[in-house]
Structure 1
Amino acid sequence: MHPNLLDQLIVFEHAVELGSFSAAAKRLNRTVAAVGYAIGQLEEHLGLTLFDRSGYRPELTQHGITLRRDVSIIMRRVERLESKVDNLRQQIATNVSIAITEMIPIEPLARATSTFTRLHPEFQLTIHEYSVDVAMQKLFQHEAALLIAQLWDAAPIKGLDGRQLYACDLMLIASHDHPLAALDDPFEYAELDNHQQVLMSPYPADTVDYNYGVSVTDLYTVNSVRLQKSLICHGAGWGFMAHHQIEDELSNGSLVQLKCRDLNDLPQMRVAAVWGTRKAPNPVLTKFIDLLEVECRKSVAALSQDTQADHSSDMT
């Protein structure tokens, strides 16, 4: 390998991008002769003619066109390496582990990750989904640098910091054949107490001083969204769930939204990015959190518009 191969590839890429040796020389702060020499040395090393110099401006030959994409890929790899080395010098981790819980919406996370990848290709994200209690354990044991999770009333706060990404109202739902779903008119709040509630909580309800998601005394407490949804779908009780968690079931009619006359303030699902107070996110990870917050708020806004449209159609 030629000792100046990397430099020659840099010159080649600039000449191709800018369309002339003179423009490449200006960008690289070199003379035109130096650019021409570097290209000539690259051609000699490869044993190929990359530019046709017979015209007013050098044009890529077929060999040059063929190698153009490969050179571009190499240069992107070099840029990632330089960025990673810079982060290492600043003691910024380039492989970050993120713990998420099953309650959070996946689509905003996927969109934010896609944008982050384009902005910081040198970073590697390890994203694993856990139950709430396991995810919190990963954070406390420093096996995850960041936790994306739903906040709950009994969540520990000592040693933790974070910021809320978004909040949305939960929906009061039951299976289509549940007795509450058979009521034509909006029912009184007291009617909920006649039926079992299926509560999603990482802790048994009787170990928590107060839980804003609890509306009755008869409870089935579960620690996963999958289990809560399954119990409600099979008629074991009613519950509060977020729209993104039950979108398919609402569409196919297996779950329905209940109309309670006295329930003015629905419980909310609040999703937050959480980290240890001694392990604050670095600037790059903070950028990921920013992107995730933007995408989460977009999803909430879109859902709000859909809900308003549904209400308008119901009134007409």
Structure 2
Amino acid sequence: MAFDLDNLGVFLAAVDTGSFSAAARALGRVPSAVSMAIANLEAELGLQLFDRSGREPRPTAHAQALLPQARLLVEGVQSLNIHALSLHQGLESVLRLVLVPELMAAAPWHEALRLLSIDYPGLEVRVLSAPQADALAMVQDGRSDLALVFERYGMDPSEKFQEVAQETLVAVLAPHHPLLARMPASGIRDEHLLAERQIVVAGRHADQVDKRIAMSRLQWTTEHPMAALRLVETGLGWAWLPSGFVREPLALGQLVQIPSENFSNSLRLWVDVVWSAGRPLGPAARRFVELLTQGREEVA
């Protein structure tokens, strides 16, 4: 075998430093050892890798052709060593993150994961989606390490959390909804909405509905905001939906923001990253929380 990790390092050092003597200094070797290593490599390959006709050896076309893959091999081994060391130091073999669907497209988790992949290039990450109550349950029973959810009422001693962003929910309905036709000139009041069907994004059970947004006596529930959006656009009810989901339908006139008289038609909620108080976070999870906190910003 012509190439091994040692002569790959010598080859790259010679190319990057521009001379065998500079490569020797960078590697902590004598120049003759570098020159001999390159000569032996050329003999085994049957290729001239450096043109020695000038004052300093210059990479030949053969060397330039081999260079990209040589760099990839060395970088791959370096990444493997870093990942092995990280595992030795307690790095998780996989980081599991669950998000409520409303935050899939909006919250600043994408950039945090990108930065995390630089710190831990070998880390496996699994991104899941579940309604809020289900996402929190997945953290508690160990199916997920972290959950990105909306703020909750009160304090749960079984949870730890960090605020990382804000999201705006907007009260919307279809422009052809009958409520608009019979709306008072002053606007819609909360009691007008009580009798109207509300489309609520929630989990599989009725007790998982967030009381801050569940206003109507009659409610249809769905686990995904996109399904809720389609039901509202059809005229089947009104809903609180993330501003990012409704920005385009509002601009196109497919939805209208409810003209309210005695309540705000937008609701700002904190976005929290949550983990179990009973299980310490691993290095990657801690770093991800740190990156989310550093990038804290308003969503939408």
TM-score normalised by structure 1 residue count: 0.80
> 1:15: which partner in 2?
14
Larger RCO, structures 1/2 (Cα 8 Å, 6+ apart): 2
C-alpha distance in structure 2 between counterparts of 1:77 and 1:6, whole Å = 11
Deviations 1:51-107 (A, max 9, x none): 112212221101100000001110111111111110121121243222223121335
> 1:187: which partner in 2?
188
In the alignment, structure 1 segments of 5+ residues that lack a partner are: 304-316
C-alpha distance in structure 2 between counterparts of 1:242 and 1:291, whole Å = 23
C-alpha distance in structure 1 between counterparts of 2:151 and 2:224, whole Å = 14
C-alpha distance in structure 2 between counterparts of 1:167 and 1:245, whole Å = 15
**Aligned pairs (5 A) from 1:266-277:** 266-277=266-277
Query: Are residue 75 (structure 1) and residue 74 (structure 2) matched?
Result: yes
- The alpha-carbon distance between structure 1 residues 209 and 199, as it changes in their structure 2 partners (threshold 3 A), is closer
Residue range with higher mean Cα deviation, 236-245 or 274-283: 274-283
Query: Are residue 6 (structure 1) and residue 32 (structure 2) matched?
Result: no
C-alpha distance in structure 1 between counterparts of 2:24 and 2:175, whole Å = 71
C-alpha distance in structure 2 between counterparts of 1:289 and 1:267, whole Å = 25
- The alpha-carbon distance between structure 1 residues 209 and 93, as it changes in their structure 2 partners (threshold 3 A), is closer
C-alpha distance in structure 2 between counterparts of 1:128 and 1:208, whole Å = 19
2:117 maps to a residue whose letter is: T
C-alpha distance in structure 2 between counterparts of 1:209 and 1:147, whole Å = 18
> 2:143: which partner in 1?
143
Q: Cα offset for 1:19?
A: 2.6
**Aligned pairs (5 A) from 1:38-187:** 38-106=37-105, 108-153=108-153, 157-182=156-181, 183=183, 186-187=187-188
C-alpha distance in structure 2 between counterparts of 1:230 and 1:176, whole Å = 13
Of Structure 1 and Structure 2, which has the larger fraction of its residues in helix? 1
- Retained in 2: the 8 A contact 1:180–1:258? no
Give 3-state SS (helix, strand or coil) of 2:22's partner.
Answer: helix
Give 3-state SS (helix, strand or coil) of 1:125's partner.
Answer: strand
- The alpha-carbon distance between structure 1 residues 11 and 175, as it changes in their structure 2 partners (threshold 3 A), is same
In the alignment, structure 2 segments of 5+ residues that lack a partner are: none
- Retained in 1: the 8 A contact 2:95–2:284? no
C-alpha distance in structure 2 between counterparts of 1:224 and 1:70, whole Å = 45
- The alpha-carbon distance between structure 1 residues 159 and 44, as it changes in their structure 2 partners (threshold 3 A), is farther
C-alpha distance in structure 1 between counterparts of 2:209 and 2:46, whole Å = 77
- The alpha-carbon distance between structure 1 residues 24 and 253, as it changes in their structure 2 partners (threshold 3 A), is farther
- The alpha-carbon distance between structure 1 residues 282 and 27, as it changes in their structure 2 partners (threshold 3 A), is farther
- Retained in 1: the 8 A contact 2:92–2:284? no
C-alpha distance in structure 2 between counterparts of 1:239 and 1:49, whole Å = 71
Aligned residue-pair number: 297
- Retained in 2: the 8 A contact 1:169–1:267? yes
